[in-house]
Amino acid sequence: LPPRRIVTLTTDFGLVDTFVGRMKGVALGICPDVEIVDLTHEVPAHDVEAAGYLLWTAYTAFPPGTIHVAVVDPGVGTERKGLAVRTEHHVFIAPDNGLLTRVLEEEPPGAVHFLEATHYFRGEPSATFHGRDIFAPVAAWIARGTDLAHLGPEATEWVRLPRRPLDLAPGRPSPVRVLHVDRFGNATLDVARNILEPALARSAGRLSVQTLAGPVSELRRTYGDGSGPGPFLLFNSSGHLEVALREGRAADALGLEPGLDVLLILEA
Amino acid sequence: LPPRRIVTLTTDFGLVDTFVGRMKGVALGICPDVEIVDLTHEVPAHDVEAAGYLLWTAYTAFPPGTIHVAVVDPGVGTERKGLAVRTEHHVFIAPDNGLLTRVLEEEPPGAVHFLEATHYFRGEPSATFHGRDIFAPVAAWIARGTDLAHLGPEATEWVRLPRRPLDLAPGRPSPVRVLHVDRFGNATLDVARNILEPALARSAGRLSVQTLAGPVSELRRTYGDGSGPGPFLLFNSSGHLEVALREGRAADALGLEPGLDVLLILEA
Amino acid sequence: LPPRRIVTLTTDFGLVDTFVGRMKGVALGICPDVEIVDLTHEVPAHDVEAAGYLLWTAYTAFPPGTIHVAVVDPGVGTERKGLAVRTEHHVFIAPDNGLLTRVLEEEPPGAVHFLEATHYFRGEPSATFHGRDIFAPVAAWIARGTDLAHLGPEATEWVRLPRRPLDLAPGRPSPVRVLHVDRFGNATLDVARNILEPALARSAGRLSVQTLAGPVSELRRTYGDGSGPGPFLLFNSSGHLEVALREGRAADALGLEPGLDVLLILEA
C-alpha cells in the first residue's frame, strides 16, 4: 500500500452546503495524511442507484488500496445498517441500501462487515448525518490501518438492487434504461460493450436504439468522428453504449432522462 | 499541532471562475505542505451573514490548529480591515465585516489582530482580490508558523452583525429567521437545540412553526422517520431546528427562503 | 523544485460526472505525492478559447515547477495531437487545438513536445477520454521527474488561435470582445491594463465602452468605490478591463455575453 491512503467520496450532498467539508475535517482529524478525492457530490438527491453507477464509473481509475466512501442515504437514522467491504483491490464503505450492487457484481466481495463498533464513530452519531459521524471516521480509521474485522460482525446478506436482465436476440426489441446524462448531454444506456459486441457479432451486425423522438443507429468511434448533424451511438469511456450529438446535447434533443427506457434492436 | 496544517476556505467565489484555484496556488507557494479543504464557495454573492453561518456549521468538524479562511467581501479595496483571530482551538481569517460574528459568539477570541504587515501579503495587493493577495498568503504564513502578533496590531473592537434575541415564552409567537436552505430543500431556522429544548421542557411541550403556507408542528428524529406525507420539524446535524419534507423539498413546498421570517410558537 | 509537485486541472468536464475524479485517480496511481488543484471544470462545453483565458488568469498564482493540465477537447480521438510545453517557470499539457495560445504569448515556450510515447499513457487509450488516458498520466510522469524529451518528438509548429489586434487611437471606436462573465456578473473585456493605460496617457484621458444598452465611462479602482448606482469600469485582478455594477450583475443589466463585441473609445 502507498504511504498515503486515498479516500474517495461520492455523495448527493452538493457543494453549496458544508456537508462534504465536514466529512473531510473529521477524516483528517483521525488520519492527517489521508488523500481525499471527490468523485462527485452531485448524485441526484436520494438516488441510490445513480450513486452506484457513478462510483462504478470511477473506482477502477484508482490504485489498489483506495477506500471508496459513498453516501446517498435516504434511510439515515433508521434501522438500515452501514457496510464496509473489502474486495481484491479496493475497500468500499456505504449504507446497506443497495448502493454497492453494481460495483460488487464486478469486483466480488472478500470480506463484508456491518459497521457496529461505535468507538470508530464520531462521538454519539446524529440521526441525520452519518456521512460525518460514521462513514468518514470509519474510512479514516481504515486508512490508519484498522482491519475491517474490528468494525463489526461479518455480513452474509446485504441489500442488492434488482437488475433487469438484458436479453439480446436479433429482431426483438429489448428495453434498456437511460443510466445517466452527462455534462455534455450524452445519454448513457445500461448496456455494456462486453455484452453488446458479441451479440452484434452473432447478428447481422446492425444496431438501432429506438427513442420517442426516433431511431438512432449510426455507431461511431468517438465524438469528433463523421460529419452528419444527427445523433449517433458510441461506447463511452466506461464501456457503456451512449447516445451523443456532435457538439450538441443528445439527451435534450431526444428527450432522454435517467430512468427512462429506450428500445435496443439488433437487426436480424 | 499536526505536521500538515489544514486551511479551510469559505467564499462566495463559485467554482466557475478560477478565484479559488488562485488562492490555493498562492498558499501552496508559501507553504507547500498545507492541506487545503473547501467548505463551500457557493455562499450567495456578498452575503456576509450566510458565510458566517456556513463556516459555523463546519469548523468544529476540524482538528485543533485548523486555519479557517472566509472571504465574502463586498468592501474589498475600501477602508475595511482584515482580521486574524486565534481561539482556543482554531484560527480564523476574514475581512472585518461581521462575518465571524456567529463563530466568535461560540468560540471566544483569544487574540485578535488586524492584518497590516504588508510583507505577509502577495506583492502589492490588488484593489479587487484580497482573497488571493492578503487572506490566502496570511493563512499560509500562519500555517508555516508565523505568530499572529507579527501580522499587525491587536484589535480591541471589530465589526459584529446584529443578532435578534430569541424570546421564547409559551403561547407568544416569536419571529425566527430562515438561515439557509440546503441542497435537499430543508429550511434551517435560527433556533438552536440547546435553547429550544429547555424551553420546550418548561412549556406544555408542543411546538409549532407557522409559515405563510400553514403550520408545521410534528417534531421527528430523522428524515426517514414516520410515514406522513407532510412537512415536519427536526434538529439537523448542526443542532438547528429545520423544516423538512420526506424525499421532497420543504422550502419549495412552503415558500421558505433565506432571510424570511417564520413564527415559532410554544403551546401554552 | 518543491518535494510535492503541483498539478492544476482546467477542463469543461463539470463536477456532476466523475471525469475529474478519474483523472485524479490515474495521476495519484502514478505519482502518489502529487498535489492536485482544480482551477475550474466549468469551462463552457467545447470552448477552447475560454479554457485558454481561464488558465491564463490563474497560472501565475502558482509556484515555479507547477504542471498545468488543460483539457477542453472537442477533437478527442481524432488526429489532433497532444502537447507538453516547458516554459521558464511552468509546464503546460493540453490538446494541440490552440488552448495554450494566450499563455504562450505571455510565457514563451522553451521546449514543446508532442505526446507520442504510448508507454506514458494509461493502457490502450480510449477514443473518448484522453484526460484520463493521456493527459493525466503524462502529467503524473512529469511530476515524477520524466523529462519532456521522452514524451515524443519536439514540435516546431502547433495550433494557435487567431487574435484580433487591438488598435487604440483617440476618437476611433475599437471593437473589443467580452472574454468572460464571472460569478458576480462582471464582464471581462479583452483589453489589458498594460496596453490601455499608456494609450489613455497619450489621449485626453477619458475612456468609454459602448454597449448595446448604452455607454459606460466611469473608471473606478475597486467594486466598493463610489456611490452611483450605474455600471462602471475597473481593471480586475488579472489586469483586464471589466464592466461591473455595485452589488449587481453588470452583464445581465447590459446584455453582455462571452463572445459579444463592445466598442472601446478613447476620447480625443
With an 8 Å Cβ cutoff, are A25 and B58 in contact? yes
Q: pLDDT 10s per residue in chain A (268 long)?
A: 556 899 999 999 999 999 999 999 999 999 999 999 999 999 999 999 999 999 999 999 999 999 999 999 999 988 999 999 999 999 999 999 999 999 999 999 999 999 999 999 999 999 999 999 999 999 999 999 999 999 999 999 999 999 888 888 888 899 999 999 999 999 999 999 999 998 888 877 789 999 999 999 999 999 988 767 899 999 999 999 999 998 789 999 999 999 999 999 998 7
Find out whether C145 and C226 touch, Cβ atoms under 8 Å.
no
With an 8 Å Cβ cutoff, are C28 and A41 in contact? no
The Cα–Cα gap between B174 and A109 comes to 54
Q: Which residues of C215-252 are buried (b: 16+ CB within 10 A; e: fewer)?
A: ebbebbebbbeeeeeebbbbbbbbbbbbbbbbebbbbe
pLDDT value at B224 more than 90 = no
User: How are strands ordered across the β-sheet holding B240-244?
Assistant: B214-216, B207-211, B261-266, B174-181, B187-192, B240-244, B232-235
pTM greater than 0.90 (yes/no): yes
B224 Rama class: left (phi>0) / alpha (psi -120 to 50) / beta: alpha
Task: Tell me the average pLDDT across C119-132.
Answer: 94
C23 min Cα distance to partner chain B (Å): 17
The Cα–Cα gap between A66 and C227 comes to 54
Q: Around Cβ C1, how many Cβ atoms within 10 Å? A: 11
> How far is C-alpha A119 from the chain's CA centre?
29
Residue B247 confidence class, pLDDT cut points 50, 70, 90: confident
- Which pLDDT does position B70 carry in this prediction? 98
Residue C2 confidence class, pLDDT cut points 50, 70, 90: low
With an 8 Å Cβ cutoff, are C45 and A183 in contact? yes
DSSP for residue C121 = S
With an 8 Å Cβ cutoff, are A74 and B236 in contact? no
Task: Tell me the average pLDDT across C238-242.
Answer: 95
- CA of A15: which chain B residue's CA is closest? B40
- Which pLDDT does position A2 carry in this prediction? 55
Reduced to 3 states (helix: H, G, I; strand: E, B; else coil), residue B73 is coil
Average pLDDT, chain C: 94
Residue B2 confidence class, pLDDT cut points 50, 70, 90: low
B244 and chain A in contact, CB less than 8 A: no
- State how beta strands B35-40 and A232-235 pair: unpaired
A208 min Cα distance to partner chain B (Å): 36
DSSP for residue C26 = H
The Cα–Cα gap between C79 and C98 comes to 14
Residue B229 confidence class, pLDDT cut points 50, 70, 90: confident
B94 min Cα distance to partner chain A (Å): 18
Q: Which residue has the cell 429544548?
A: B197
- CA of A128: which chain B residue's CA is closest? B222
Beta-bridge partner residues of B93: B69, B84
The Cα–Cα gap between C87 and C108 comes to 6
DSSP for residue C140 = H
Burial-class residue B123 by CB neighbours within 10 Å (0-12, 13-18, 19+). exposed
The Cα–Cα gap between A254 and A242 comes to 13
Q: Please, what sign has the CA dihedral across residues B209, B213, B214, B217?
A: negative
- Chain A residues whose CB is inside 8 A of the B2 CB are 32
A121 min Cα distance to partner chain C (Å): 26
Tens-digit pLDDT profile for residues B140-193:
999 999 999 999 999 999 999 998 888 888 888 999 999 999 999 999 999 999
- Which pLDDT does position C175 carry in this prediction? 95
Of the partner residues C13, C28, C128, the one whose CB lies closest to the CB of residue A236: C128
Q: Which amino acid is at B157?
A: E
| Chain C adjacent subunits, 3+ CB pairs under 8 A | A, B
With an 8 Å Cβ cutoff, are B237 and A76 in contact? no
C222 min Cα distance to partner chain A (Å): 27
The Cα–Cα gap between A121 and A150 comes to 12
Percent of chain B with pLDDT over 90: 84
The Cα–Cα gap between A229 and A232 comes to 9
With an 8 Å Cβ cutoff, are B33 and C183 in contact? no
- Which pLDDT does position A9 carry in this prediction? 98
Find out whether A241 and A191 touch, Cβ atoms under 8 Å.
yes
With an 8 Å Cβ cutoff, are B223 and A74 in contact? yes
The Cα–Cα gap between A71 and A62 comes to 19
Tens-digit pLDDT profile for residues C14-34:
999 999 999 999 999 999 999
The Cα–Cα gap between A41 and A50 comes to 12
- CA of A37: which chain C residue's CA is closest? C21
With an 8 Å Cβ cutoff, are B18 and C40 in contact? yes
With an 8 Å Cβ cutoff, are C183 and B25 in contact? no
Record the cell numbers describing residue C9, joined without a space. Answer: 486541472
Q: Around Cβ A254, how many Cβ atoms within 10 Å? A: 22
What ipTM does this complex have? 0.95
- Chain B residues whose CB is inside 8 A of the A17 CB are 40, 54, 57, 180, 182-183
Tens-digit pLDDT profile for residues B15-53:
999 999 999 999 999 999 999 999 999 999 999 999 999
C70 and chain A in contact, CB less than 8 A: no
Of the partner residues B35, B40, B223, the one whose CB lies closest to the CB of residue A128: B223
The Cα–Cα gap between B135 and B151 comes to 11
User: How are strands ordered across the β-sheet holding B35-40?
Assistant: B35-40, B6-11, B67-71, B91-95, B82-86, B111-114
- Chain B residues whose CB is inside 8 A of the A20 CB are 38
- Chain A residues whose CB is inside 8 A of the B180 CB are 17
Longest Cα pair distance anywhere in chain A, in angstroms?
A: 62
A17 and chain B in contact, CB less than 8 A: yes
- Chain A residues whose CB is inside 8 A of the C20 CB are 38
B118 and chain C in contact, CB less than 8 A: no
Of the partner residues B16, B74, B133, the one whose CB lies closest to the CB of residue C183: B16
CA distances from A252 to A110, A185, A211, A226, A231 (A): 42, 7, 12, 21, 11
A222 and chain C in contact, CB less than 8 A: yes
With an 8 Å Cβ cutoff, are B25 and C61 in contact? yes
With an 8 Å Cβ cutoff, are B21 and C38 in contact? yes
- Which pLDDT does position C209 carry in this prediction? 96
With an 8 Å Cβ cutoff, are A37 and C25 in contact? yes
Of the partner residues B33, B77, B132, the one whose CB lies closest to the CB of residue C61: B132
With an 8 Å Cβ cutoff, are A182 and C16 in contact? yes
